[in-house]
Structure 1
Amino acid sequence: MLTSTRQARILDSLRSDGEVRVEDLADQLGVSASTIRRDLNALSAEGLLKRVRGGGNIEPDRIPFSDVSRQQQPEKLRIARRAAELVSDGDVILVDIGTTTALFARELRGRRITVITSSLAVIDELRSDDGVELIVLGGVVRNNYNSMVGTLTEQALAQIRATTCFLGTSGIRPDGTIADTTGMEVPIKRAMIASSVRSVVLADASKFPGVGLLNVCGPEQLWGVVTNEGADEATLDVFRSNDIEVMTA
């Protein structure tokens, strides 16, 4: 079996089950465990899965939001503060789900702006602020990652025209593709991009390549990227070659 065919089969298993084990894949595909490990390492390097002991998975959002929020917290805070500098009084902005976007929302307190979001964490940060006009997108609550999803959210976004969309992401591939791990979140992110004059991704260095099998958008649909030192320079050069503003916090 060709390497590309075998790796495609591995990805099919991931899409179906969310995780795979080395021994199971070796039995299914009729190859050695060492061959499977090399495949998993290669797919991990491309940002297509998260390598874990004994196998791999594509669902880091099973980790509670509170636990994720503690990872790379200083870096995320610097990114949030740098991103807040892009917001001017009077702006109408869309804020995606995520731990970095929640910190970003905190930096917006007291601003005379309109914030539209499907993130419960962003709502918690801004709900008591008299300066911010907060608009909440309806939908089905996804408790695991403090967000609202579904057709109601997408329909609401179709009626909006925002100054800027601030996106979170599960990973950024070497070609600049923005990726996600959760199918129900992808249409929301795409609708946010379509409803905004410009789109900015907030991503700490660990998101290069991060994880994610699902394409959200290509670099050509972005205006800017805010990250921190240590992000993969080759990927950042892809953004720069597409005239995307790269900001390091």
Structure 2
Amino acid sequence: MVASTNNAKSSLSLVERQDALRRLINQQSRITVAQICELFSVSEATARRDLDALAELGEIQRVHGGAVAVRKAPPEPPVLQRAAEQAEFKQRIGRRAAELVADGETIFLSSGTTAHEVARHLRGRQLTVITNSLLVINELSNARGISLIALGGSFRRSELSFIGHITEQALTELRADKVIMGMRAVDPDEGLTNDYLAETQTDRAILRIGRQVILVADHTKIGRVATAFVAPLDAVHTLVTNREVPPEIVEAFEAKGIQVLLA
């Protein structure tokens, strides 16, 4: 039975084989080159070409020795609703990212629950903090030693943040030693994406003001892709995430020159 099945698969056309391969990866989440060779009776070179072709179309994500499924990021609930989600991981990430900040620096903190955790761990420091997040403003408004620059703009109620033209204009007047930023989805191939188109230009303006960009995202955001493209991966210098990220995904980021810190 196995032999007849393999013979049937070996007679598939290129399009049919790649479509079957795509469906198989989506069903079982990952596959190796060796498994493809056995299942489809093809050479390693052919298996790799098939994977490369599917990866170029954004259908899968290539990893060392094979591929994994590209996971679409689900719609993001409001920020206050997300506060309790992955709380332990966000706390660890916030603490680790705060350790990267030196006294006397000027940093930008974005909106989002993970960036808010970074703010919690900056209390008691001597810093200048720029932010468009109402959560961060409230967290640091009475923190001695922190000079707070709050950006206005169009208020996004679900995120408790300020975005849009006024925010972006203010950002052109500012520079930061470090930008610490959350993101809806981060993928080694697809880069930084979010699910709110109106925020995309503001995110890009934020990325431009930092000499160093530190992305903070828990494992549920890693290896996922959302609707709106924000920036390629090379806009980021460091990714701070938690240890639950699969090793092959960490390796994929590091292969692109990104420093990955696991909290």
- Tell me the TM-score normalized by structure 2: 0.72
Runs (5+) with no aligned partner, structure 2: 1-15, 20-58, 61-68
Q: Select the residue among 189, 193, 200 that pairs with 1:179.
A: 193
> Within the alignment, does 1:47 sit opposite 2:71 as a pair?
yes
- The one-letter code of the counterpart of 1:142 is R
The 5 Å alignment of 1:145-184 reads: 145-175=159-189, 177-184=191-198
Matched, 1:68 2:68: no
Distance 1:184 1:221 in 2: 20
For 1:150-229, list aligned pairs within 5 A: 150-175=164-189, 177-229=191-243
**Structure 2 equivalent of residue 122 of structure 1:** 136
CA distance in 1, matches of 2:181, 2:130: 12
Identity over aligned pairs, percent? 34
- The one-letter code matched in structure 1 to 2:226 is G
Change (3 A) 1:241 1:211: closer
- Alpha-carbon distance in structure 2 between the residues aligned to 1:77 and 1:70: 11
Alignment match of 1:78 (pick from 69, 88, 92): 92
| Mapped partners of 1:235, 1:175: distance in 2 | 11
Q: What is the DSSP-based 3-state SS (H/G/I as helix, E as strand, rest coil) of the residue aligned with 1:90? A: coil
Structure-2 change in CA distance of 1:73 and 1:123 (3 Å): same
| SS of the residue 1:247 aligns to | strand
Gaps of 5+ in 1: 5-40, 51-58
Q: CA deviation at 1:209?
A: 2.7
Q: How many residues align?
A: 202
**Compared with structure 1, are the counterparts of its residues 80 and 49 closer, same or farther at alpha carbon in structure 2 (3 Å cutoff)?**
closer
- Aligned to 1:112, which of 110, 116, 126? 126
Supply the AA of the counterpart residue of 2:113.
T
In structure 1, distance between residues paired with 2:229 and 2:248: 19
Q: Does the CA-based 8 Å contact 1:176-1:235 persist in structure 2?
A: no
The answer to whether residue 258 in structure 2 is matched with residue 234 in structure 1 is no
